[in-house]
Structure 1
Amino acid sequence: MFKNYLKIALRNLFRNRVYSFINIAGLGIGLAAAMLIMLYTKDEVSYDRFHINNPNIYRVTTSWINPDGSVKQEDGTTGYFQGPKFKEGVPEIKSYLRVRSDFRNIRQGTEIKGYGMLETDANFFSVFTFPLLSGNPATALEKPKSIVVSDEMAEKLFKTTDVLGKTIDFVEEDKLVPYLITGVAKKAPQNSSVKFDFLLPFIVKSEEYQNNENWFNFFLNTFVVLQPNADAIAAEAKMKRVYEADAKESIVKVAKDYDIKEKARYGLQPLTDMHLSTQFTAQNGLTDASNPTFSYILTGIALFILLIACINFINLTVARSLKRAKEIGVRKVVGGDRKQLIFQFLGESFVLCSIAFILAVVILQIVLPTFNQLANKSLAFSYLFDLKLITGYIALFFITSLLAGFYPALVLSGYDPVKTLYSRFNLTGKNYLQKSLVVVQFGLASFLIIATLTIFSQFDYLTTKELGYTDKNLITVDKWQLTHSQSHLFVDELKKNPNIVDVAPKNGGSWGTIARVNGDKQIDFAYETVNPTFIPLLNIPVLKGRNFSLDFPSDSTQSVLVNEAFVKKAGWKNPLGQEVNFWYDNNTKYKVIGVVKDYHFNTLNQEIGPQLFTMKPTNKYGMVYIKIKPNTEVASLKHIEKTFKKLFPINSYDYKFVETENLKRYESEAKWKQIMMFGAVLTIFISCIGLFGLATLSAEKRTKEIGIRKVLGASVGSIVQLLSKDFLKLVSLSFIFAFPLAFYAAQEWLKNYPYRISIGASIFIVTAVVTIMIALLTVGGQAIRAALMNPVKSLKTE
C-alpha cells in the first residue's frame, strides 16, 4: 500500500508541476530560514559551554545601590582585590582569575604594529579550557616578560607555530623590550567570550595590595571557580560580609572624600549566562556580547516565512481538491475508509516536504556565507551535523509536514463519494478558513514591510542627522601618552604641508570624572583635554563667553569650557564665571569661560551628556584631529604617515576618517536593515507565489463562466476586475490586523533610541500601496490571461 501511495504522490507531483513547484519552493525557503535560525540560536546558547570547569565558573559582578535601595549602575567590572580577598574569605570559592584588556605596540619585521592583548593571572589555563599546542600550561604565565600566543598569530608573525622560546619585541617607554614566548595556544572557539591572540602575565605591584582603596578601582574581569556543589547564593552572602569587614575604613573614607552615597554589592554571574546578558554584558576584553532580542526577532521572521509557506500548501491543496474529487469517490466506493485517505494525503505531504527539506539544505549552504556576514557569525555548514540540531531538524520536518498536510487531508477525505462521482460536488460555504489564511499571510507580510521601512528610516536618520560638528575631511591619528610639547612639534611639522588645514590634539578614548558645582552639588561628565584649536577645527559654536586662547596663559590652569548639557544639569542661569571644584585633586578649582553648543560626541544611541573641556598641562593627549583639504586624501595621508614615523619611530601608526568611523557606529542597525529587508522580500515572495496559485485555480474553476460573460459582451477589464477583486479585498483586510500590531512593535523598538524618527502615516500608506500593487500584479497577470482566452475554447472545457 505504501508503494501505491508513493506512486500516486509522485504522479500528482509531476502532473501538476506549477503547483508542486510553488509548494516545494515555498516550503524549501521556509524550512531553510527555520534551519538557519536554529543554527544561529544553537550557536548563541552554546557560548562558553566548552570549559571543563562549567557550571562552576562565575564572574564577579558589581552593582551600585542608591540609599533608597534602587540600582544606580551595574556591570561586570572589578579591581585588584575582589579575587584574592573573596578567595581568602569565602570557603565556596576554589580559585579566582583576573582578566583585563590591554593594547601594546610590538615590532613586526621593520614595522611597529599595535595589537589588543589580554593580561591574566598564571592559572588561566587551569580555569579555562584552552588547549596549549606547546608549552606548560601551569607555568607559561608565571614570569614577567613572558607571553603566550595563539597558533594563528604565531603563523602571522613567524610563518610557523614552532615558536616556543622565541621572542617578541614590545615597545615600552620608547624602548624595545623582548618578551619570551612560553606557550602557543590553539585559537579560541568562535563561541567563546574570551578570545585572544596574546596573553600576558597580570603583574600587580606589592604596594597596590597595601592600598585598601583599591577596593574601589574597577577596570578588569574577575572570575571565580566554586567548589563542586557549592551554593552560589551562600557564596554571595559571604562575599558581602568579607567586603564590609575588609573595606570598612575605606568605605567611610571614600564616601567622605568623593561624596559617594551609593554602596557596592557584589554578585556571581554564571559564565554561560554572560554572552546573552543585557544586565552584565561581556566587556573589558571579553568579546561578542549579544542580546537575546536578536534571536527572538530572527526566530519570529523564520516562523513568519515558514507559516506563510504552510498556508500556501493548505490553500493550494484545498483549492485543487475539486481536481481529485472523483479519485476520492472511487477510493471510497471500492472500500477505502477515511483513515486510509488521511494517511494517503499525509503521505503526499511528507513526500513534498522531503523534497522541500532537501532544497532547504541546498539553500542553507548557499546563503550561509551571506548570513554570517550579516549576523557577524562564523557558522560553518559542518555545524549542521550536531546531534541536537539534527534532532531539531527532524522535529521541524515532521511538524511542518503535519501542519501543512493535516487539514487538507481531513477536508479531502471527507468528500461524499456519490456527489463526487456524479460531478455534483462543489466546495460549499464561504471558504472562511482559506480566506482567513490569505489574510494572515498578507498580514504577516505587511507587518514585516512596516518593520523594514521603520528600520530603514531610523538608520537613515542616524546616519544623516547633523551631529553638531563637521566630520568631513577629518582624520584622526592615535598617539597614546602624547605630551603637550610633543604635540606642538607634531602640529608644526604637519602644518608645513599646504594640504593640512589645521591640527588639534585631544585625549584618547573616553574620559569621565566628577566635580562639584554650586558648593556641594556633584556632577559626572565627559572630561576632554584639548587645545585652543579643537573647538574651531570641528566647527562647534561657542554660545556664550569665549574659546580657550594662548593669549591668556591662565586658561590652561584656571579655566574650562562646558557644554549646554553641563549648564542644564548644574542649573546655572549665568554660567560664565561659575566655579567647578575638583575637590579630590588638591581642591583644584576652575572658572567657566565659555559654553559650547551640544554636539553628539557619542553615538545617537545615547543622549548628549554633560561635557567639560580643559587644557590642563599634566593631562596627556591620546589622539590628533587633522583637517585636510578636499580631494587631497592620498597626498595628505602620505605626509601624515611620514611625519608621524619620523617623530615617533617606535610607535604604531594608525589613522581613521572620522566620517567613516561615525558610520561604523551604526553597523548593527545596518545589518538589521539588511536582515529585515531579506525577511520582508522572502515573505512577500512566498505570499505572492501562493496568491498566484490560488488565482490560477480560481481562473480554471471559472473558465466556463468567463466564456459566457465574453460571449455576452463583457470586456477584458471587467473580467480582470471580477477575478481580482476578491483577492484584493482579502489583502486590504489584512491591513486592519497588521497595521496596529506593526505600529506597536515599531514604537517599542524605537524606544531604544533617544533620538528617533516619528512613525507617520506615510509608512503605512507606502506599505498598503506596495502590497496591493504586488498582489494586483500577481493576480492580474492570471486574470488577464483568463480574460483573453478564446470563449469558444472556454465553453468547450466542460
Structure 2
Amino acid sequence: MEPDLPPRPPVWADRLLSLVCAPHLRESVLGDLHEEFRYQVRKAGLRKAQLRYWIEALGFLQWRYIKRTKSDYPPTYLLSRDMIRNYFTIALRTLVHNKAYSFINVAGLSIGLAAAMLILLYTKDEVSFDQFHANNPDIYRITNKYISPEGKQVGSMGNTGYVAGPAFAAGVPEIKAFVRFHGHRNDIKRGNEIKSEDIFRADSSFFSIFSFPLLSGDPNTALKEPRSVVLSEAMAEKQFGSKNVLGRTVLMKDSFEKDARFEPYTVTGVAKKCPQNSSIKFDMVIPMVIGPGEAHRATNWFNTFMNTFVLLAPGTNIAQVERKMNLVYNAEAKEAIKEVALKYGMKDKKVYNLQPFPDMHLSEELPSDGGLVGHSNPLWSYILTGIALFILAIACINFVNLTVARSLKRAKEIGVRKVVGSGRMQLVMQFLGESFLLCIIAFVLALVLVQLILPIFNDLANKSLSLSYLFDTGLVLGYLALLLTTGLLAGFYPAVVLSGYSPVRTLYQRLQLSGKGYLQTTLVVLQFTIASFLIIGTLTINSQFNFLINKDLGYNDEHLISVDKPNLTREQAHLLRLELQKDPNIIAVAPKNGGRWNTAAKVNQGTEIPFIYETVDHEYLPAIQVPVVKGRNFSPAFPGDSTRSVLVNEAFVRQAGWKEPIGQIVDFTYENFKCTVVGVVKDYHYTDLNEEIGPQLFTMRPANPYGRFFVKIKPASETSSLRHIAETYARLFPLNPYTYRFLDDENLKRYESEARWRQIMLFGTTLTIFISCIGLFGLATLSAERRSKEVGIRKVMGASVASITRLLTSDFLKLVSLSFIFAFPLAYYAIDKWLQNYPYRIGIDAFIFLEAALLAVLVAFLTICFQSIRTALANPVKSLRSE
C-alpha cells in the first residue's frame, strides 16, 4: 500500500520553488517528484524514499539556480547517490594518479591542521581556567589600587591582609561568604624523614565556595578544627600509601611560629586531583587560624600577602558592592589611615575593587599570585594563534597554487566534460569534492600527528593537555569548523577557475592562465613573507635569550651553593661557618635573609625611597665577589656595624640624589631606627634581567633573621663538598629538611619561559619553512613540466645545464627576494614592540635581517634547484617528440 503523500510540499520548499519557476511548472515538478517518490518507496522503502525525495527537491533547486534552460525539467539525479559516488570516485582516482601533488597537499594541510588543533587545545585550556566552579560567575577576588592626590593610579595589587574579608562580609549585604587563601612551606615528618612541603591555609568556607570535590570527608566541616588537614589523593598516597586515610595524623611544624614543634594534624578529608585549568592547586590545606589581636589590628588593612575571595549574591551590581566596600574601609580604617599617613608620609588613597575569579589567569595588571599558580601572559596566546594561522594559511596557499598550476594538465578533461553536458556547478562540486576529500584525509592524519606531538608540545608550553581531557562539544565543533573552513579556503578558488575554462580553447590547447600568473605570484610572495617574518622573529628571540643567559650579572654565581635554613640565628650561622670550613674545599660561607624583602625608608630628611632590603654579614659580598666602590664593607673591626651601619648600591645613590653618599642617614621611620651609610656596593643583578636594577640596602641588624646561606666551593669538588654540607646540616639541624641548589642553575631557571618560547618559535618556523618549501618544490616541478619542450629546444641549441638551471630558478628566487620588502618592515615593528618588554635587551641588528634573507633564499634555492637540475639533465629527445 502506498503511503499518503502531502498534497503540497512543506512551506520552505514551496517558497523556494516560487522563486525559481513559474506556478504552472511548479505543479509539474511536484508531480514528477511525487512519482519518483512512489517508485522509491516500492524499491527501497519509506525511509530511504523520504531521503531521496528531499535530495531530488534540492537537485531541482540547484538546476534552476544554474538556469541551464528556462523550460526543461531538471535532471533527475543531479545530487543523487550515483552522482555523489561518481564525484568521490573521480576525486580519489585523481589523487591516486598524482601522488606527488597529493602528498604535498596532504602533508602541508595535515601539518597546518595539526598546528591549528594544538593551538585550539592550548587556547581552550587558557580561556577555560577556573571556569569549572559551580559558583561562577559570582566569585570575585578582592583587589586594591592606590590613587595619587592628582587622581592618577600609582599601583595595584591582588593581595590583601587578614582584615578585608571579614570586614567586607559583615558590612556589605551582597557578600554571601568569603574565603582567605595563601601558601607557604611547612616541615612534614614521616618516621625519621623530614621534608618541606607546600602547605595552604584557607578558611573553613573553602570547599563550599570552590568546587573541589572530596573523595572522603565533609566539605562543610573539613577545615573547622584548628589541627585538621585535607590532603589531595596524590599526597594521601605519598604519605600513607592509601586514599582511605580519614582520622590519621600528619606531623607538621608551623613555619609561622619561631619555636614551633611538630604537632599532629588530623586528616579530615581527601580531595580529588585539582583540574589542570585551575589557578588553585593544593596537596595539603590546613585551617586559617588567626589570633584575635591579629585579626582586629587596624594596620592589617595595609598588609598584602594573601588572596581573599568573596561569593556574591546572583545578579549583584558590582559597582555598587565596590562602593560599599570602600565605605566600610574608610570607616573602619579611619584611624589607621591617619596613623600610616603621619608615620610614613603616605598620601596616596587606597581603593578596593573586585576582580572576576576567571579573569586572573590572563590578567596583565592583576595576575594570579600569592599561592595561586599557572598565570599566563595573553601575548603568548596571540603569538601561538598567529603561528598556527600562518602555518594553515601557507598550507592553503600551497593547495591553491598547485591546483591552479596543475589546471593546464587537466584542461582537456574539463573540456571533454563540458562537451558531454557537465554544467559549471557540477564541475565546481567535483573540484570542491576533491578538495574536501583531501582535507578529510589530512584531517585524519592531523589527529594522529596531534596525538604523537602532544607530549612534546606539553613540555614546550608547560601544559598537561590531552585530546580526551578537552574533547568536549565546543572543541569538536571547532575542529569541524576548521575542517570546513580549510576545505572551502583551499578549494573554492581553484574550483571556480577550473570550471570556467572554455571547452573549445582547452580542446585545441589554446588555454593560458589569465592574469599573467598574478595570483600565483602574489601567493608565493605572501608565503615567503610569512616565512621570513617568522625566521626574523625566531632569530631575535634566540639572540635575546642568549643575551639574557650570558650577560654579566655583576657577581660570580659559579660554584655557589644556596641552602635554605629558616630562622637561622647569628650564633647558629657562626657555628655553621666554623663546621663547614673544616673542609678545605669550602671557600666561604655567607648567611642571608630568605626570600625577597621590600621596604622603604626616608633620606634627605623626608624623601621616601623603596628598596630591596638585604640582611647579610661581612662575608656575603666577598663570597659572591661584588666590589664595594666607595667606602668600606661591613667588618668585625667595627662592632657598631650591626646596629648603626648600612651599605647601599649605586641605584640607591642615584635615586637619593647623593653626590657624596658616605655618611648619609637612612631613617627607618616605621621602626624608629636610623643608620649611616658606610659603603656603596656596585650594582649587580640580584634578580633576573626581566627586572631593572633598583635601590638595594644591606644591613646586619640582629633583629632580622637569616633564611638561607651561600657556600662557595672549589671547582671540581661538588660531590665531596655537597656530602660534607649535608652531613654538617643534618648534625646541627636534625629537625629541618635539607634542600640545596646551585645558584647558576637557579639563575638559568629564571629564563625557562624564554627558553620554552624560543623552542616553540623555532618549531613553528621550521614547520612554516617546510610547508613553504614543499609547495615551492611542487610549483617548480609543474613549471619544469610545462617548459619541458622549451628546455629541450634550448639544450639542442647548445644551452648548458647551469644556464637552464638558472632559467628555471630565477623567477622563483625573484619572488622570494620580493617577499623581503614586505617582511622586513613588519618584522622590525613586531620585534621592536616585543623587545620593549625587557629592560636589558639586544639592539635590532641589521645582521639578523641579512641572516634571515640568506637563509630564506638558500632554502628556496636548494628546494627548486633539485628539480631544475633534474629537468636540465633530462634527454631532450623525449620532451620534443612527446605530444
TM-score range, shorter chain: over 0.9
Asked which structure has the greater CA Rg, the reply is 2
Alignment of 1:649-668 (within 5 A): 649-668=734-753
In structure 1, the partner of 2:643 is 557
Is 1:392 the counterpart of 2:478? The answer is: yes
Q: Structure 2 CA distance, aligned partners of 1:313 and 1:109?
A: 66
Alignment of 1:420-569 (within 5 A): 420-569=506-655
**Would the aligned equivalents of 2:163 and 2:296 in 1 still touch at CA under 8 Å?**
no
Q: Structure 2 CA distance, aligned partners of 1:610 and 1:729?
A: 55
In structure 2, the partner of 1:345 is 431
Q: Structure 1 CA distance, aligned partners of 2:469 and 2:600?
A: 49
Q: Structure 1 CA distance, aligned partners of 2:579 and 2:471?
A: 60
In structure 2, the partner of 1:359 is 445
Deviation at 1:381, TM superposition (A): 2.4
Deviation at 1:156, TM superposition (A): 0.7
After TM superposition, the structure 1 stretch with the greater mean CA deviation from structure 2, 393-402 or 224-233, is 224-233
Is 1:775 the counterpart of 2:860? The answer is: yes
Deviations 1:683-737 (A, max 9, x none): 0000000000000000000000000000101010100000000000000000000
User: Cα gap change, 1:384/1:510 in structure 2, threshold over 3 Å: closer, same or farther?
Assistant: closer
In structure 1, the partner of 2:322 is 236
In structure 2, the partner of 1:608 is 693
Q: Structure 1 CA distance, aligned partners of 2:363 and 2:504?
A: 64
Q: Structure 2 CA distance, aligned partners of 1:383 and 1:330?
A: 51
Report the TM-score, using the length of structure 1 for normalisation: 0.99
Q: Structure 2 CA distance, aligned partners of 1:726 and 1:486?
A: 77
Is 1:302 the counterpart of 2:388? The answer is: yes
Deviation at 1:110, TM superposition (A): 2.1
In structure 2, the partner of 1:246 is 332
Alignment of 1:252-291 (within 5 A): 252-291=338-377
In structure 1, the partner of 2:45 is none
In structure 2, the partner of 1:93 is 175
Q: Structure 1 CA distance, aligned partners of 2:279 and 2:366?
A: 13
Alignment of 1:1-40 (within 5 A): 1-40=83-122
Q: Structure 1 CA distance, aligned partners of 2:425 and 2:863?
A: 37
In structure 2, the partner of 1:751 is 836
Q: 2:798 aligns with which of 710, 713, 728?
A: 713
Report the TM-score, using the length of structure 2 for normalisation: 0.90
In structure 1, the partner of 2:124 is 42
Q: Structure 2 CA distance, aligned partners of 1:49 and 1:423?
A: 62
Q: Structure 2 CA distance, aligned partners of 1:623 and 1:345?
A: 71
Deviations 1:732-776 (A, max 9, x none): 000000010001100000000000000111001100100000000
The SS at the match of 1:431 is: helix
Amino acid at match of 1:433: L
Q: Structure 1 CA distance, aligned partners of 2:148 and 2:516?
A: 63
Q: Structure 1 CA distance, aligned partners of 2:881 and 2:715?
A: 75
Deviation at 1:174, TM superposition (A): 5.5
Q: Structure 2 CA distance, aligned partners of 1:56 and 1:584?
A: 39
Q: 1:186 aligns with which of 254, 266, 272?
A: 272
Is 1:633 the counterpart of 2:718? The answer is: yes
Deviations 1:84-108 (A, max 9, x none): 1111111111111100112100113
Deviation at 1:426, TM superposition (A): 2.2
Deviations 1:661-682 (A, max 9, x none): 0000000000000000000000
Deviations 1:233-259 (A, max 9, x none): 110011111111111111111111111
Q: 1:691 aligns with which of 776, 780, 783?
A: 776
Q: Structure 2 CA distance, aligned partners of 1:97 and 1:321?
A: 67
Deviations 1:143-198 (A, max 9, x none): 11111110100001111011111111113535321111111111111111111000
Q: Structure 2 CA distance, aligned partners of 1:386 and 1:796?
A: 60
Amino acid at match of 1:567: V
In structure 2, the partner of 1:58 is 140
Amino acid at match of 1:134: S
Larger RCO of the pair (alpha carbons < 8 Å, separation 6+): 1
Deviation at 1:136, TM superposition (A): 1.5
In structure 1, the partner of 2:807 is 722
Q: Structure 2 CA distance, aligned partners of 1:357 and 1:656?
A: 46
Deviation at 1:541, TM superposition (A): 1.1
Is 1:148 the counterpart of 2:230? The answer is: yes
Q: 2:819 aligns with which of 722, 727, 734?
A: 734
Q: Structure 2 CA distance, aligned partners of 1:773 and 1:109?
A: 64
Deviations 1:203-250 (A, max 9, x none): 110112332111111111000000111111110011111111111111
In structure 2, the partner of 1:135 is 217
Q: Structure 2 CA distance, aligned partners of 1:101 and 1:259?
A: 31
Q: Structure 2 CA distance, aligned partners of 1:755 and 1:629?
A: 31
Amino acid at match of 2:707: G
Amino acid at match of 2:473: L
Alignment of 1:305-384 (within 5 A): 305-384=391-470
Deviation at 1:791, TM superposition (A): 1.2
**Would the aligned equivalents of 1:703 and 1:797 in 2 still touch at CA under 8 Å?**
no
Amino acid at match of 1:419: R
**Would the aligned equivalents of 1:515 and 1:524 in 2 still touch at CA under 8 Å?**
yes
Q: 1:617 aligns with which of 693, 698, 702?
A: 702
Q: Structure 1 CA distance, aligned partners of 2:646 and 2:404?
A: 77
**Would the aligned equivalents of 2:142 and 2:158 in 1 still touch at CA under 8 Å?**
yes
Deviation at 1:384, TM superposition (A): 4.7
The SS at the match of 1:381 is: coil
Q: Structure 1 CA distance, aligned partners of 2:669 and 2:521?
A: 73
Q: Structure 2 CA distance, aligned partners of 1:578 and 1:759?
A: 41
Amino acid at match of 1:782: Q
Unaligned 5+ runs, structure 2: 1-82
In structure 1, the partner of 2:313 is 227
**Would the aligned equivalents of 2:407 and 2:498 in 1 still touch at CA under 8 Å?**
yes
In structure 1, the partner of 2:251 is 169
Unaligned 5+ runs, structure 1: none
The SS at the match of 1:746 is: helix
Q: Structure 1 CA distance, aligned partners of 2:515 and 2:267?
A: 80
Q: Structure 2 CA distance, aligned partners of 1:227 and 1:426?
A: 70
Count of residue pairs the alignment pairs up: 797
Q: Structure 1 CA distance, aligned partners of 2:315 and 2:861?
A: 65
Q: Structure 1 CA distance, aligned partners of 2:834 and 2:280?
A: 30
The SS at the match of 1:552 is: coil
Q: Structure 1 CA distance, aligned partners of 2:199 and 2:154?
A: 31
After TM superposition, the structure 1 stretch with the greater mean CA deviation from structure 2, 313-322 or 288-297, is 288-297
Q: Structure 2 CA distance, aligned partners of 1:598 and 1:148?
A: 46
**Would the aligned equivalents of 1:171 and 1:651 in 2 still touch at CA under 8 Å?**
no
In structure 2, the partner of 1:786 is 871
Q: Structure 2 CA distance, aligned partners of 1:652 and 1:629?
A: 25
The SS at the match of 1:721 is: helix
Q: Structure 2 CA distance, aligned partners of 1:115 and 1:401?
A: 52
Q: Structure 2 CA distance, aligned partners of 1:756 and 1:457?
A: 9
The SS at the match of 2:583 is: coil
**Would the aligned equivalents of 1:171 and 1:650 in 2 still touch at CA under 8 Å?**
no
Q: Structure 2 CA distance, aligned partners of 1:383 and 1:685?
A: 30
The SS at the match of 2:220 is: coil
Deviation at 1:390, TM superposition (A): 0.2
The SS at the match of 2:494 is: helix
